[in-house]
Amino acid sequence: MACIAIFTDDPGWHGKQLRQAFANRGYTSKYVSLTECEFSLDPLKLSVLIPGFESTLPDAVFVRGVPGGSLQEVVFYLDILHTLKVMGVPVYNDGYAIEKSVDKARTSALLNYAKINTPITWVLKDRSKALAIAESELKAGYQLISKPLFGSQGEGVRRIEKMTDLFWLTSSNGVYYLQRFIDCEGAGYSDIRVFVVAGKAIAAMKRCGKSWLNNVARGASCNKIVLDSDLSEIAVRATQALAMDYAGVDVIKDAQGCYSVIEVNSIPAWKGLESVCELKVAEILVNDLFDRYLQCDRVDKERVAS
Ligand SMILES: Nc1ncnc2c1ncn2[C@@H]1O[C@H](COP(=O)(O)OP(=O)(O)O)[C@@H](O)[C@H]1O
Ligand SMILES: [Mg+2]
């Protein structure tokens, strides 16, 4: 029977939703950790060993999580995703998309190159230059955000509001990522998460943080908003600039009403979003994967079998 590998170390609610959605399309699925996969480069055997898929490769893989680890470990997990794709297995989102979005410097550079509105950002190694940039921004009346290149859910994100904050300005593993702070419109703090699938913005929510950090994992509340055409357009363009099948795009609307893309997530959660909209996101994702990557494959296999 057709079977999908769901790469995750913590299936939880999202894993369950995906399994159900795959079952609705007639596919079984198995949860697998990328930490358990191996290369066995022998021409007579399958070269990517995935637990539960010893005799045949999965029909597709859905990437719900890439574990952290040393640079070599993470590169190896990406090697597995890239190699599966080379072997003809649909990988949703693929290794290239994940590579670009887990690295905030790469995301910012690609957004900037595609002329998508994103805050002014500096990425550098030299501490004295980083201090000079921060000082000149503060003098000009701006605040800054410093972030680790790899990180999610607001981890390690800091705000530099005043000169004395420069005392603790530290690099993250040797790299400074500094970004101009965007004052959001309205009272309090908020940003917007837009969910894009197959080139279309399907839903959005406003996240209102307890402080300026608007991650749901940091206690931000989720509120329904209606997508307008500018918001849809900027989120779709950002997703296309990073060549993703689907994405969770973080956008801030500034005090002048202008949208700026902060981040593009290639493995976004959707539990918070579903709490404020009527959509069944797992079904939409699985249907998209099925329609764009599995449908023709299945038709071909059936044709060969008959
Ligand atoms: N340039 C910025 N201006 C204002 N707030 C920001 C900026 N960058 C990040 N933030 C806030 O910090 C949160 C986390 O930053 P983000 O870049 O999305 O990293 P993470 O991967 O940790 O979610 C954002 O959701 C937003 O609330
Ligand atoms: Mg984010």
* Mean pLDDT along residues 170-198: 95
Evaluate whether residue 196 is within a structural domain. yes
Evaluate whether residue 110 is within a structural domain. no
Paired tokens of 21: 């959605």
Amino acid in the structure at residue 58 = P
CA of 263 to the centre of ligand 2 (A): 6
Q: Which residue, judged by its Cα, is nearest atom 25 of ligand 1?
A: 214
The verdict on the CB of residue 179 being under 6 Å from ligand 1 is yes
90 falls in which pLDDT band (50, 70, 90)? very high
Domain count, the chain: 3
Are 81 and 51 members of one domain?
Answer: yes
Nearest CA to 194 out of 246, 157, 136, 129 is that of 246
The verdict on the CB of residue 150 being under 6 Å from ligand 1 is no
Are 231 and 208 members of one domain?
Answer: yes
Evaluate whether residue 235 is within a structural domain. yes
CA of 268 to the centre of ligand 2 (A): 9
297 falls in which pLDDT band (50, 70, 90)? low
Evaluate whether residue 294 is within a structural domain. no
Mean model confidence pLDDT for the chain? 93
CA of 195 to the centre of ligand 1 (A): 16
Q: Which residue, judged by its Cα, is nearest atom 15 of ligand 1?
A: 154
The verdict on the CB of residue 151 being under 6 Å from ligand 1 is yes
Are 204 and 155 members of one domain?
Answer: no
Which of 146, 190, 191, 251, when mutated, tests ligand 1's pocket best, judged by the most ligand atoms within 8 Å of its CB? Answer: 191
Task: Report d(CA 75, CA 96) in Å as an integer.
Answer: 12
Residue 134: the pLDDT is 97
CB 194 within 8 A of CB 235: yes
Are 8 and 59 members of one domain?
Answer: yes
Torsion of CA 82, 34, 149, 267, to 10 degrees: 80
CB 184 within 8 A of CB 255: yes
By residue range, what is the domain housing residue 31?
3-92
Q: Is the pLDDT of residue 306 over 70?
A: no
CATH of residue 265:
3.30.470.20
CATH of residue 41:
3.40.50.20
Q: What is the pTM of this model?
A: 0.93
